[in-house]
Chain A
């Protein structure tokens, strides 16, 4: 089973974080929630691997088996 990578993996993390916030700029709470949902689906599809996705879900819930 491929392991979910929970080590730092994004180059220039500050830039990514700023882009993430910028994507939400000017949106209402409802629009932001919808954007987040779309973003999750797009990224999940890109990952594709169900094992990785399951580990990611567990990691987001702070569950033990997230490696």
Chain B
């Protein structure tokens, strides 16, 4: 049987660009057809910007890789028209168990907040995730969108020509030269584009190796996240068991530093380890095995004139906390609307610098969280291990110690508090979670949800407030979405957007982050906030 990740999804075909006498110039090209590159391409295509995606491969990701997708990325996928198949296929989980040595020390329920369309997390293999994104690309192509996937296209070199970027691309039929006004590099942590441009990628390498295995088994383990510190089957190390769709289980085993990677990956080495963990009587089949060493590092700047880095190419984190693919999707969510406005001449080029401001802030937050998790999971000194073990021992008996247990702080979107695009908060006593810079939290509204109504353009959201149906400032149009606290009998809408105020008016960016808010509509203030959110003042 062919696995989904063994089937070529976008095999190489010859492009007319390869026969052009002078290099063809595109609007936007993306290197890398992983989750981040595909999401960026779909976003551009939906907004009517022609885009070409190059990838040296022609298949979805090999093995499960990123498996945990958080609420905010799912909401972004809803805007990209492909959230539903992901959620339908994905495994929703809420319960986690923590083991220390041979005993369970405690369990926790994520207790997701009510009143959101999307769950806190789903588990879904990266290959499915990419497969659904490719399906969405095909759907857009059928609708006439100019979005092209070129498999078997490997970028050999990249030259900044000032007003454009020139690429030399290798194909099975030889190389060709092509130009693009903008290049988005989504070519992963080992980014060849970054190397070709001689750019830095600095941070901390953790001296540890993890074995990850996708195992197919008919086991009655519940749909929970199980995390072991120092388990009997992997002494002195850690282990994670997580359920994915199709009876596939993801197992992560910490191996330590001084190991022979090739040796440890061999089935005759892996299977006995897994048997120790799962028990001798559990039947299982190995689907995929890999060993990774992780690092926390980022580029100093993500934007380099007309080459913009997004996802792992720009920043890399440890996998604990699911902050890799999740933050990459937030990168493109942040970038694409800005690029669209700049391409259309509706915003100055410097709007793209705010991508650096906001996403570097996000990357630093992710790196901080993931570094702390890693320090807890793999203590680097005797005293660090002493406190780690003390926390785990106490967590079995006393609730106070449980928040100190850190097996990964799961991805939540960051609030761009310092963003130059924010207008200072003008809603006294407004909820902190919807302050300027924050991503709009979902809430019930009538028969649907708030985020369904926001779409992907500037929006004036009014809650029990009057406002014109449309405001246009310097080419930027913001349509009004009118809601009332009465639209949500549960009270979540009022709690999340009004606080103690009887009414509120929000200016929402196309990426559904709050740009500004007031108690009532003030046209001068709204216009100024639009200018500010588009880097015009």
| Chain A residues proximal to chain B, CB less than 8 Å | 33-34, 37-38, 40-42, 45
A30 and chain B: residue at smallest CB distance: B386
Cβ of A34 and Cβ of B389 under 8 Å apart?
yes
Contacts of B386 in A (CB 8 A): 33-34, 37
Most chain A beta-carbon contacts within 10 A, residue among B390, B393, B401: B390
A42 to B391, CA, bound (A): 10
Q: Say yes or no: is B161 at the interface (Cβ < 8 Å to chain A).
A: no
Distance in Å from the Cβ of A48 to the closest Cβ of chain B?
9
A3 to B400, CA, bound (A): 24
Cβ of A38 and Cβ of B393 under 8 Å apart?
yes
Distance in Å from the Cβ of A15 to the closest Cβ of chain B?
25
A45 to B404, CA, bound (A): 10
Which of B134-167 touch A at CB < 8 Å? none
Contacts of A34 in B (CB 8 A): 386, 389-390, 393
Cβ of A41 and Cβ of B389 under 8 Å apart?
no
Contacts of B387 in A (CB 8 A): 37, 40-41
Chain B: interface residue count, which band? 10 to 19
> What 0/1 pattern do residues 377 to 397 of B give for CB contact below 8 A with A?
000000000110111011000
| Chain B residues proximal to chain A, CB less than 8 Å | 386-387, 389-391, 393-394, 398, 400-401, 404
A37 to B386, CA, bound (A): 7
Apart from the given pairs A37-B390, A40-B390, 18 other A-B contacts in the complex at a CB distance below 8 Å: A33-B386, A34-B389, A34-B390, A37-B386, A37-B387, A37-B389, A38-B390, A38-B393, A38-B394, A41-B390, A41-B391, A41-B394, A41-B401, A41-B404, A42-B394, A42-B398, A45-B400, A45-B401
A34 to B387, CA, bound (A): 8
Contacts of A45 in B (CB 8 A): 400-401
B401 and chain A: residue at smallest CB distance: A41
A46 and chain B: residue at smallest CB distance: B400
List the 10 shortest-distance A-B pairs measured between CB atoms, nearest first.
Answer: A37-B390, A45-B400, A38-B390, A37-B386, A37-B387, A33-B386, A38-B394, A41-B390, A34-B390, A41-B394
A33 to B393, CA, bound (A): 13
Contacts of A38 in B (CB 8 A): 390, 393-394
A41 to B397, CA, bound (A): 13
A selection of 5 A-B contacts at a CB cut-off of 8 Å is: A34-B393, A37-B389, A40-B387, A41-B387, A41-B391
Distance in Å from the Cβ of B442 to the closest Cβ of chain A?
32
B387 and chain A: residue at smallest CB distance: A37
Distance in Å from the Cβ of B399 to the closest Cβ of chain A?
10
A8 to B458, CA, bound (A): 61
Distance in Å from the Cβ of B444 to the closest Cβ of chain A?
36
Distance in Å from the Cβ of A63 to the closest Cβ of chain B?
18
A35 and chain B: residue at smallest CB distance: B390
Most chain B beta-carbon contacts within 10 A, residue among A40, A41, A42: A41
A38 to B390, CA, bound (A): 5
A37 to B383, CA, bound (A): 9
Contacts of A40 in B (CB 8 A): 387, 390
B388 and chain A: residue at smallest CB distance: A37
Distance in Å from the Cβ of B401 to the closest Cβ of chain A?
6
Distance in Å from the Cβ of A61 to the closest Cβ of chain B?
14
Contacts of A37 in B (CB 8 A): 386-387, 389-390
B404 and chain A: residue at smallest CB distance: A41
A45 and chain B: residue at smallest CB distance: B400
A59 to B87, CA, bound (A): 52
A41 to B400, CA, bound (A): 9
Contacts of A42 in B (CB 8 A): 394, 398, 400
A31 to B345, CA, bound (A): 68
A38 to B388, CA, bound (A): 10
Distance in Å from the Cβ of B513 to the closest Cβ of chain A?
29
A42 to B393, CA, bound (A): 12
Distance in Å from the Cβ of B353 to the closest Cβ of chain A?
35
Distance in Å from the Cβ of A52 to the closest Cβ of chain B?
16
A41 to B394, CA, bound (A): 9
Distance in Å from the Cβ of B521 to the closest Cβ of chain A?
40
Distance in Å from the Cβ of A24 to the closest Cβ of chain B?
15
B390 and chain A: residue at smallest CB distance: A37
A41 to B104, CA, bound (A): 20
Contacts of B400 in A (CB 8 A): 42, 45
Distance in Å from the Cβ of B386 to the closest Cβ of chain A?
5
Contacts of A41 in B (CB 8 A): 387, 390-391, 394, 401, 404
Most chain B beta-carbon contacts within 10 A, residue among A38, A42, A45: A38
B403 and chain A: residue at smallest CB distance: A45
Contacts of B389 in A (CB 8 A): 34, 37
A55 to B65, CA, bound (A): 44
A50 to B23, CA, bound (A): 61
A3 to B398, CA, bound (A): 28
